[in-house]
Structure 1
Amino acid sequence: MAVHPQIQEDKWKSLRYLIGGIFLVLVLIEKSMGFDPKATGSFLPKQGFRNIGKSQDKAKFAEPSDPFAKDTWEDDLNWEEEVLTQTFPESDSKQKPRTKLVDETIPEITLPEDRFPGAGKRLQADAGYLPVYFLKFYGTGKNSQSQLVKLTREFPGGDPIPFLFQELTKGPSPEEKGKGVLSALSKKIRMEPNYRLENGILHLSISEDIGYGGSMEILKDRLDQIAFTMIGNFGIKGVVLYSNGERIRTLGSDGLTIPEVLAKTQRKVIIF
């Protein structure tokens, strides 16, 4: 049976529409996958439509490229490092030394009232008997307490200040020791030959040994022995102690604070 010409023409139109639709779909897929027709020339290979699938050359899709495959990757890396260095300058790992706020070359300054005022006029006294104060302990163990003991020494005349201090460091006589009399001042403690008596205040310069080898109570006894022995004689009303040219503010490792001017404390005195 012969096919009607109109029907045959409609079939060809449908086939053309189908092929055109397939081609359009392929073009859209090509665009969505990132193909560039200008770069690749054409989506279809030059071998012709019939050889699609037979060609060994497969269309390359967008694949990640290896940056190290190029010959210029070292130049690119150097350029990136240069840009980063200029944008974010590398901080110096070595910290600059901090400037000291305290200049160690500046010497310590002693205030005028803390300096030894210098030698003054020496005292002169006639021969006679002068009082000297020592210690005697009463009680035993923890209940033991020291008391001041007033004794006298024969003075040959001359300067009484060095004489009295020397008697304190010399200590009691053997007979007095037999009665329990002691001294908190040892022979190591020396008095400098220069002193100054001004406005009733006796300025004495002594060795730093006065702060060594004694408890807090012993240190207090030393100060009392000096104060009671010096004050009340020759117009002396108070004593200020110095060592190495500077005023003594504290004594001992525990830091016993010394008054501005030593005076007689309120404590019992035993007269032998």
Structure 2
Amino acid sequence: MTLSGISFLFRADAALALSTRALALWSALLVLFIAGFLLREAWPILTDGHWQAFFTSAGWYPSSGQFNLWPMLVATLAASLGAMLLALPLGVASAVFLCFHAPTPIANGYRRLIILLAGIPSVVFGLWGLTVMVPLIADIAPPGASLLAAMLILALMILPTVALTSEAALAAVPASYAHGAYALGLSRATSEWRVLVPAARAGILSGALLAMGRALGETMAVLMVAGNVVQLPGSLFDSVRVLTANMALEMAYATGEHRASLFVTGLVLMALVSALAWWAHRHASAEVANAH
């Protein structure tokens, strides 16, 4: 290669590095801008000493100045965690099937079905849940629109994310891991679940946290199937309202402290997602340190 060609490659690498840094900085500034906007809109109710009302009020009664977010926060976490408990084993099992068991034509078709499931709009999930799932649950324990329905719908929605990220994590595990397991006399199932899946746990956990973030932020489907009653759930069959649905239902007509309290809801959701991102980064850093 000539000197001019080498010089061009160096310039291209420098330009790529500069543009990558600029895009990363822009992304960080955008997140900070969103957080600042939410904080500015929520500031009136936070500075007036009313922030205690978000945990101590008798309930969510905006017209009376009572803004207890605790029941909706509990419902949000319960629905998301319940969906993850359902989607994670199914997603990992799907990834194991795709990587180690399915013939190539079946694996390709199954992967396309999972991708198609990921592309279905949330309102379609909500409509199906409202017309099919909610009546089925109502036959067991009325009214049907409940925390359980929200968990099941969210599990369906985040399953493709868990399955596809888990498949990518398993595909990145070196083949020598499997060869070593077989050489030690381990069975195929033991090799897969005791060696290969644990070796891919960093990628699987990252995908699970990504899916958890989507579950926390989902609005329309949960709004349609959860029942939208502001209460602490005593069972899976109780109607609940999640934080995102509360914002969607009331933002159009909210004013004053009511409007500011809805932006506090947005801050709470952003804090939850930020905590998930921090946890994922910490876990990934720990995995890298252990690998070295």
Is TM > 0.5 for Structure 1 vs Structure 2? no
More helix by share: 2
More strand by share: 1
TM-score calculated relative to the size of structure 2: 0.21
Between Structure 1 and Structure 2, whose CA radius of gyration is higher?
1
The structure whose RCO (Cα within 8 Å, separation 6+) is larger is 2
TM-score calculated relative to the size of structure 1: 0.22
